[in-house]
Structure 1
Amino acid sequence: MTAISLKSAPAREGLTLPYAEAGDPVGTPVVFVHGLADSWWSFEPLLRRLPASLHGYAPTQRGHGDADRPADGYTPDDFAADLVAFLDAVGIHRTILVGSSSGGVSARIVAGSHPDRISGLVLVGVPATLADKPAVTAVRESVEGLSDPVPREFVEEFLAGMVDRPIARGFVETLVEEGLKLPAYVWQETVRGLLEADLRATLAGILVPTLVIWGDQDGFLPRDDQQTILDAVHGARLLTYEGVGHVVHWEQPERVLADIAAFAARGAENT
């Protein structure tokens, strides 16, 4: 198992982001970007298994986990700007971005706006759009009704909807504790930011190699949503994981990591 170091980066004035780092410093840089209610812990199963060919970083986004919690600034563009600032703060000139769920939206914004910094993009259970998705509407309605302290039952139910098969109970408990660190306004502003943004427009201008990973039991994203990504991003390739839910890397971390490593190796061969 690979050792994980916990560090922090002063990404922007008044904003410090904790992050986990693992792997060989001479390996290909890979930055993992988590989604709503997660933290760097979302990628702990991958960081522990990193092959020598990869050097992994997993920042915790503003408002989440132990990161600073500004009063505002929770749109996809805000998270994307933080991500670029993180790359600068830790000295990453060029990297593969791996975005999970809503974290993939900010990741693809960076891939489209800073192609010189991104060598490849991996989207794991990432929506093309959020319009007309009943499961997303239900989340929005429940989040709007939140007040502090956010109930544990709400976080447990939210996380339960992310997977199709059981995952380790200890890991689930850690994810719940991380989710409970978000105050109600962070839940609400992050969801509003996603729903008010033109997510389809964030697919424009992505020219870097792109891999799309999707579980066919995803209760949020149907197959045609992922097809929208494939149609918009030239050369994007889809890997479908059968019998897997929304957060693919929680259910099959070894397979996801192997596919990321293979994707990184193909990129190296083409440079």
Structure 2
Amino acid sequence: MTVISLKTARLREGPTLPYAEAGYPGGTPVVFVHGLADSWWSFEPLLRRLPPSLHGYAPTQRGHGDAERPPDGYAPEDFAADLVAFLDAAEIPRAVLVGASSGGIAARIVAGSHPDRIAGLALLGVPATLAGNAAADAWAERLDGLADPVPRAFAEEFVAAMSAGPLARGFAETMVEEAVKVPVRVWRETAHALRDTDLRATLGGILVPTLVVWGEQDPFLTRDDQQTILDAVHGAAFLSYEGTGHAVHWERPERVLADLTAFATRVAPAGPA
């Protein structure tokens, strides 16, 4: 297992973000981007298993975990701007981006707008669009009735919905604790911005090699939704995980890491970017 180091990045004209770093200096830089109500801990099962060929970074996004909580700036384009600023702050010239769930929206915006900085893009359970998505709408509507602090029962239900089967108890507890840290306004503003944004438009202009991974028991995303991504991104590869829910990297960390390692090795040679 690799050692995980916890560091801090002060973004230019932006918030301070904690991030986890793991792996080997000569490995291909891989930046992991978490989704709503998560933190860098979302990728702990991957970071501690990184092979020598990869050098991983996992920032916690604004408003989440122990990151700073600006009064605004929770739309996909805001998270994307932070991601570019993080690459600068961490001195990562070029990386493979791995976006999970809503974190993949920011990741693909950056891949489309800064192709010189992105060697490849991997999307783990990322929606093509949330228009007409009844499950996502139901969660967003429930947020409207919440007040701080986020009820633990709500966070537990949210985390449980991410997987088709049971998670390791300690990991599930950690993710619940991270979700409870997020202020209701951040949950609400992030969720509503995702619903109000034309997410299909964020698929335009992606020319970097792309890998799409989807769990066949995802309660939020259908196979047709994922096909929309494949149709929009020329040459994108697709992997379907049987018996797996929304957070494929939580349920199948070994398989996800093996697939990501193969992808990163193909699109970016090992060594400093």
For 2:206, give the aligned amino acid: I
Which residue number corresponds to residue 90 of structure 1?
Answer: 90
State the alpha-carbon separation in 1 of the partners of residues 81 and 247 from structure 2.
24
SS at match of 2:92: coil
TM-score if structure 1 supplies the norm length? 0.98
Q: How far 1:14 moved relative to its partner?
A: 5.0
Which residue number corresponds to residue 234 of structure 2?
Answer: 234
TM-score if structure 2 supplies the norm length? 0.98
Structure 2 matches for 1:28-67, cutoff 5 A? 28-67=28-67
Q: How far 1:144 moved relative to its partner?
A: 1.3
For 2:123, give the aligned amino acid: L
SS at match of 1:243: coil
Structure 2 matches for 1:1-271, cutoff 5 A? 1-268=1-268
For 1:124, give the aligned amino acid: L
State the alpha-carbon separation in 2 of the partners of residues 54 and 219 from structure 1.
31
Structure 1 unpaired stretches of 5+: none
**Percent identical across equivalent pairs?**
73
Distance verdict in 2 for CA 1:14–1:206, change over 3 Å = closer
For 2:221, give the aligned amino acid: L
CA deviations on 1:104-154 (whole Å, 9 max, x unpaired) are: 000000000000000000000000000111111111111111111110000
Q: For CA contacts below 8 A with separation 6 or more, give which structure has more relative contact order.
A: 2
State the alpha-carbon separation in 1 of the partners of residues 222 and 233 from structure 2.
18
Q: How far 1:77 moved relative to its partner?
A: 0.1
State the alpha-carbon separation in 1 of the partners of residues 107 and 146 from structure 2.
27
For 1:101, give the aligned amino acid: S
C-alpha contact 2:14 2:82 (8 A) present in aligned 1: no
Larger mean CA deviation between 130-139 and 227-236 belongs to 130-139
Q: How far 1:72 moved relative to its partner?
A: 0.5
Larger mean CA deviation between 113-122 and 13-22 belongs to 13-22
For 1:250, give the aligned amino acid: W
SS at match of 1:12: coil
State the alpha-carbon separation in 2 of the partners of residues 268 and 199 from structure 1.
27
C-alpha contact 2:63 2:182 (8 A) present in aligned 1: yes
State the alpha-carbon separation in 2 of the partners of residues 113 and 145 from structure 1.
36
Distance verdict in 2 for CA 1:149–1:268, change over 3 Å = closer
SS at match of 2:2: coil
C-alpha contact 2:119 2:268 (8 A) present in aligned 1: no
State the alpha-carbon separation in 1 of the partners of residues 106 and 116 from structure 2.
16
Distance verdict in 2 for CA 1:231–1:2, change over 3 Å = same
State the alpha-carbon separation in 2 of the partners of residues 14 and 238 from structure 1.
35
SS at match of 2:268: helix
SS at match of 1:173: helix
Q: How far 1:207 moved relative to its partner?
A: 0.1
SS at match of 2:16: strand
Q: How far 1:97 moved relative to its partner?
A: 0.1
CA deviations on 1:157-181 (whole Å, 9 max, x unpaired) are: 1111110011100101110111111
**RMSD over aligned Cα, in angstroms?**
1.0
In the TM superposition, structure 1's runs of 4+ consecutive aligned residues that sit over 4 Å from their partners are none
Q: How far 1:268 moved relative to its partner?
A: 3.4
State the alpha-carbon separation in 2 of the partners of residues 90 and 267 from structure 1.
21
Q: How far 1:264 moved relative to its partner?
A: 1.0
State the alpha-carbon separation in 2 of the partners of residues 86 and 159 from structure 1.
27
State the alpha-carbon separation in 2 of the partners of residues 65 and 11 from structure 1.
16
For 1:140, give the aligned amino acid: A
